[in-house]
Amino acid sequence: MSPTCPRRTASPSVAGRALPPVGVFALQGDVREHVAVLRALGADVREVRTPAQLAEVAGLVIPGGESSVMDKLSRIFGLRDPLRHRIAEGMPVYGTCAGLIMLADRLHDGIAGQATFGGLDVAVRRNAFGNQLDSFETDLDVAVLGEQPVHAVFIRAPVVDEVGPKVEVLAALDDGRIVAVEQGRLMGTSFHPEVAGESRFHRRFLDHVTAAS
């Protein structure tokens, strides 16, 4: 079976124990798509909207959506500071599109007062490829995921302008623009693997959860 086609598997385990639940940030964005991919990989997935729900999970996916809205809602629901704390403690997190923006330490061209959760030593530019009409798809080489290219879907996507010394670049476009990064147990992509049926980034996220458990 192709590695890009998720199949339902037994629950991931650590030393014979079931992997702890993982979460999807569910205040805004394409939550259902990420939940579906993770469950197809055998994960116990929770939707996270409150600090109490965040406390129940061992890792978190932050989906695509609207980063400024995520910022505002996370403050309203009291989730912003607990999430920043968990990230600083080393919780594995994977962010796609707006999720990558929310993981960036530095944000170029954000709206007035917009903040991020931080954790990734990168600078990110919002809507770097234009508006919805400028969405596109392409194949990317991502060596850490194997030889088969990743089919990447870009929808009002950000781009990584700068990376710190501890950040590994996982993928870039032919023109050199960085679109996937990893730093320790934090990972971010400008594109939407879940839209293209690509599950290898989610598998890698679950591997980070396994290593942290």
User: Which of the residues are catalytic?
Assistant: 97, 192, 194
DSSP string, 93-119: EEEETHHHHHHEEEEESPPTT------
Contact assessment for residue 120 and residue 188, using Cβ atoms and an 8 Å cutoff: yes
The three-state secondary structure class of 196 is: coil
Instruction: Give the sign of the dihedral formed by CA 52, CA 193, CA 114, CA 209.
Output: positive
C-alpha separations of 97 from 44, 129, 147 in Å: 23, 12, 23
Tokens, residue 153: 């879907």
Question: Which tokens sit at 39?
Answer: 């469950």
DSSP character for 195?
G
- Tokens at 1, concatenated: 């079976």
The partner residues of 178 in beta bridges, in order of sequence, read: 160, 172
Given a contact cutoff of 8 angstroms between Cβ atoms, the answer to whether 89 and 53 are in contact is no
